[in-house]
Amino acid sequence: MVPIACQARNVSVAYRADPVLRSVNVTVPVGSVMGIIGPNGSGKSTLIKAMLGLVKPLTGTSEFFGQPLDQVRHRVGYMPQSASVDWDFPTTVIDLVTMGTYGELGWIRRPGKAERARAMAAMEQTGIPELAYRQIGELSGGQRQRAFLARTLVQAPDLFFLDEPFQGIDAKSQQAMIDVLRDLVAQEKTCVIVHHHLATVRDYCDHVTLLNGHVVASGPADQAFTKENIRIAYEAREGAEAFLETAA
Amino acid sequence: MSFVLGTSLLAVVTALACALPGAFVVLRKNSMLVEGVAHAVLPGIVVGYALTHDLNSPWLIIGAALAGLLVVLGNEWLIRTGLITGDAPQGLVFPALFAAGVIFITLDFSHVHLHTEVVLIGDLNLAAFHHLMVSGVSIGPRYLYVMLAVLAVNVAFIAVFYPKLKVTTFDNQFATVLGMRTGLLNTVFMFLVSVTIVTAFHAAGAILVISLIVVPAATAHLISHRLSVMLALTALFAILGAVGGFWIAYALNAATSASMAVFYGLVFIAVALIDRLATRVRRHRRSRVCQPAAGR
């Protein structure tokens, strides 16, 4: 049996009186690319945040490599949505990427040459080494995503949580992201990707969790990502209908 | 030390002590929360003054700073309850505390002689009145040394926790997943800001202290591409505004803290205009360089 990279058990979340997730169970095998798919407001990002302790769940627990997050933080990397930060913040791209090493520094130590060299290597992986000394506000949408991905790569985790990495991205950046993902898969790393573009799900993900406040289906893509399940998850929304027609 | 030198030094040190943590206040978008803290420390100061009869007593400073922290923690708690949204929780907590302070003063609580004007805008000249004497020679206002101590604590805190402050300010969620104690760091930071406000209260009052905290950093933010540069420029603008404001007040015989606040505003406008102009000139030059190439 394939070992498990992470698992959410019976996770429920509510924002005030509104339930967002109800009793979610998801299991992600090591070496898989798990797509979290669902319509807007279906709780995709919330599920990741609840698992990572950024949102307090009402019920449920999450485990990473069979342990609570605190025991294995160094093996878990997180790339938030790029819209969640202020890009006018006075910092350069290399400084942003170096932040990925801060988790190992303890309370007092500062990043030095070694950390910056690792940041540079991660930027080369995502294809943006020439942008190292730019102010982050000068980057395009795709370059921002690549800088964020480099910051996660620099941590060298075994499990990646990527929240909408393909959001607002140009073709060149998309290709760079896909190349990195392929590399990660080849190295037996595990990725959990929040994604909402139905047409490309099968290109990136070998596992899928269809979400709509609850889990509609979760498992290998060919079992979970079926027309019937998509229809249930999207409640026959326009975008999904169009996709289903072209797929048919 | 002469009165003028002592008072202008006090203005500079107070401005620096407020402005350096102010850089993070501005980047964390906490300016109005800090404005709330500046009002909420009042009851702490009045009660503390009644007990110690000394505005520079460390007990008063810590007690009143804790009252200021009530706004931060109360605000966070109210947001978590979900009863009210946006920044309304701040508006709920700090006016109540400020009003309690005003009631204490108007009731002449234990004979506290604080003038409303001093409460609102402070009085730097009055604050610099008591000089510290060493074997009969003045070595400057006593209050100057209190502010110097606060400045030293702020500089040390920022220097030691610089990477942590940077990452939690830029991306708090990412820092949390890295395993950083973001809540603890934020509470300690806000406590230091609160301490700074209470100490600067004597010089700048409840209303104008926010300009010492926010404006130099906001001005520096306009033209900084790196955090270290922003901190250096914040310090520069703080000093410039303090010296400029002090001499305007001296020449016009006006309130020092108010003159500093006005001068800060003028510096902000000047920097914003120069920055705009420079960007326009750069663009113009670039288009002139590009035109012949495009014409070919």
pLDDT tens per residue, range A203-217: 889 999 999 999 999
What's the pLDDT score for residue A241?
61
Q: What is the C-alpha to C-alpha distance for residues A81 and A152, in angstroms, rounded to an integer?
A: 12
Secondary structure, 3-state, chain B: CCHHHHHHHHHHHHHHHHHHHHHHHHHCCCHHHHHHHHHHHHHHHHHHHHHHCCCCCHHHHHHHHHHHHHHHHHHHHHHHHCCCCCCHHHHHHHHHHHHHHHHHHHCCHHHCCCCHHHHHHCCHHHHCCCEEEECCEEEEEHHHHHHHHHHHHHHHHHHHCHHHHHHHHHCHHHHHHCCCCHHHHHHHHHHHHHHHHHHHHHHHHHHHHHHHHHHHHHHHHHHCCCHHHHHHHHHHHHHHHHHHHHHHHHHHCCCHHHHHHHHHHHHHHHHHHHHHHHHHHHHHHHHHHHHHHHHC
State the pLDDT at residue A26. 95
CATH architecture classification, A4-86+158-247: 3-Layer(aba) Sandwich (3.40)
- Its ipTM equals 0.91
| B163 → closest Cβ in A105, A135, A155 | A105
Average pLDDT over residues B211-224: 95
The whole-angstrom distance between B160's CA and the closest CA on chain A is: 6
Find chain A residues with C-beta within 8 A of B172's C-beta.
Answer: none
Q: Which of A32, A33, A62 is nearest to A47 (CA)?
A: A62
For the stretch B4-21, pLDDT in tens is: 888 889 999 999 999 999
Output the pLDDT for position B44.
Answer: 83
Is the pLDDT score of A246 beyond 90? no
Q: Which residues of A touch B226 (CB under 8 A)?
A: 90-92, 95, 135
Q: With an 8 Å Cβ cutoff, is B86 touching chain A?
A: no
pLDDT higher than threshold 60 for residue B295? no
Whether the CB of B227 is below 8 Å from some CB of chain A: the reply is yes
What is the average pLDDT across B52-59? 78
Give the nearest chain B residue to A100 (CA atoms).
Answer: B178
Distance (Å) from the alpha carbon of A178 to chain B's nearest alpha carbon: 22
Mean pLDDT of chain B: 86
Instruction: Count the neighbouring beta carbons within 10 Å of the beta carbon of residue A15.
Output: 11
Task: Examine the pLDDT at B80 and tell me if it is beyond 80.
Answer: no
Picking from B162, B173, B226, the nearest residue to A90 by CB comes out as B226
Confidence of residue A51 (pLDDT cuts 50, 70, 90): very high
Residue B248 clears pLDDT 50, i.e. is over it:
yes
Please determine, for residue A180, whether its predicted confidence score (pLDDT) is greater than 80: yes
**What percent of chain B is modeled with pLDDT above 70?**
93
Chain A residues lying within 8 Å of B162, measured CB to CB: 110
Partner-chain contact A53 B176, CB within 8 Å? yes
**What was the pLDDT predicted at B90?**
80
Exposed/middle/buried for A33, CB within 10 Å: 0-12, 13-18, 19+?
buried
Distance from CA of A78 to the nearest CA of B (A): 7
Is 60 exceeded by the pLDDT of residue B292? no
The per-residue pLDDT for range B183-194, each reduced to its tens digit, is: 999 999 999 999
Nearest-Cα distance to chain A for B95, in Å, is: 26
Q: Which of B166, B174, B229 lies closest to A80 in CB terms?
A: B174
Q: Is the pLDDT of residue B128 over 50?
A: yes
Please list the alpha-helical segments (H only) found in A137-234: 141-153, 171-186, 201-204, 221-224, 227-234
A52–B177 CB contact, under 8 Å = yes
- What is the tens place of the pLDDT at every residue in B104-117? 877 766 566 666 66
Interatomic CA distance for residues A70 and A50, integer angstroms? 14
pLDDT for residue B109: 63
pTM reported for the whole predicted model:
0.89
Q: Which two tokens stand for residue A233?
A: 């998850």
Query: pLDDT tens, B131-175?
Result: 888 888 888 888 899 899 999 999 999 999 999 999 999 999 999
Residue B110 is predicted with a pLDDT of: 54
Average pLDDT, chain A: 90
CA distance B61 to chain A (A): 27
Q: Which residues of B touch A52 (CB under 8 A)?
A: 176-177
Q: Does the pLDDT at position B293 exceed 70?
A: no
Cα separation, B291 vs B296, whole angstroms: 9
From chain A, pick out residues whose CB is under 8 angstroms from the CB of B225: 90-92, 135
Domain ranges of chain A: 4-86+158-247
- Show residues of chain B in contact with A135, CB under 8 Å: 225-226
Distance CA B70, CA A206 (A): 50
Maximum average pLDDT range among B42-51, B64-73, B133-142, B157-166: B157-166
Please tell me the predicted confidence (pLDDT) of residue B121: 67
The pLDDT, as a whole number, for residue B294 is 44
Report pLDDT for A97.
96
- Interchain contact B23–A (C-beta under 8 A): no
Calculate how close chain A gets to B184, using CA atoms only, in Å: 12
Q: Do A102 and B163 touch (CB under 8 A)?
A: yes
Neighbour-count burial of B24, counting CB atoms closer than 10 A to its CB (0-12 exposed, 13-18 middle, 19+ buried):
buried
Residue B123's Cα: distance from chain center in Å?
16
Residue B36: pLDDT above 90?
Answer: no
Those residues of chain A whose CB sits closer than 8 Å to some CB in chain B are 15-17, 49, 52-54, 70, 73, 76-78, 80, 84-86, 88-92, 95-96, 99, 102-103, 105, 107-108, 110-111, 135, 151, 155
Q: Where do the DSSP E strands lie in A16-68?
A: 18-29, 33-37, 59-64
Q: Rounded to an integer, what distance in angstroms lies between the CA atom of residue B48 and that of residue A109?
A: 38
Q: What whole-number distance in Å separates Cα of residue B6 and Cα of residue B127? A: 11
Domain B3-295 fold: ABC transporter involved in vitamin B12 uptake, BtuC (1.10.3470)
B180 → chain A, closest CA residue: A103
Instruction: Tell me if A102 and B170 make a contact (CB, 8 A cut-off).
Output: no
pLDDT at residue B116, as a whole number: 66
B131 at the A interface (CB within 8 A)? Answer: no
| Contact criterion met (CB < 8 Å) for B167 and A102 | yes
Q: Which sequence spans correspond to the domains of chain B?
A: 3-295
Overall average pLDDT of the A231-245 stretch: 68
pLDDT of residue B37: 87
Residues in A closer than 8 angstroms to B167, CB to CB, are 99, 102
pLDDT in tens, A107-136: 778 888 999 999 999 999 999 999 999 999
